[in-house]
Amino acid sequence: METIEKIKQQLADNPIIIYMKGSPKLPSCGFSAQASQALIACGQPFAFVDILQNPDIRAELPKFANWPTFPQLWVEGELIGGCDIILEMFQRGELQPLINETAAKYNSESAE
């Protein structure tokens, strides 16, 4: 599968996904650590892709997203942004409702 197709599939399969360096439990950079901590604090499950383990995605996603840096948070196939945006949204109380509503929407769909 082409890298862009793989990315599109990941975005389609995971309503909340963060592309980051490392994993939420073992982040490999400070920005990824802060961004994933904000997501964890929202209390909903989310998917992640470790770009250090996926150099093809690391190379292609910035071009696909038109966003040069990692981490990248995507919700329902839309790029939300990187670490600064995620933390600003979290501090303003905007991230939690977005994550909770998205999780609730997909949890109810899978329960039907």
pTM for this structure? 0.94
DSSP class of residue 1? -
Q: How confident is the model at residue 107 (pLDDT cuts 50, 70, 90)?
A: confident
pLDDT of residue 103: 95
Rounded to the nearest integer, the mean pLDDT of the chain is 95
Q: Is 29 annotated as a binding residue?
A: yes
Residues listed for the chain: 112
Q: Is 46 annotated as a binding residue?
A: no
Residue 51, pLDDT above cutoff 60? yes
Residues pairing with 19 in the sheet? 49, 72
Q: Is 48 annotated as a binding residue?
A: no
The angle formed by the CA atoms of residues 50, 56 and 61, to the nearest 5 degrees, is 75
8 Å CB contact between 34 and 83:
yes
CATH number assigned to the domain covering 3-111 = 3.40.30.10
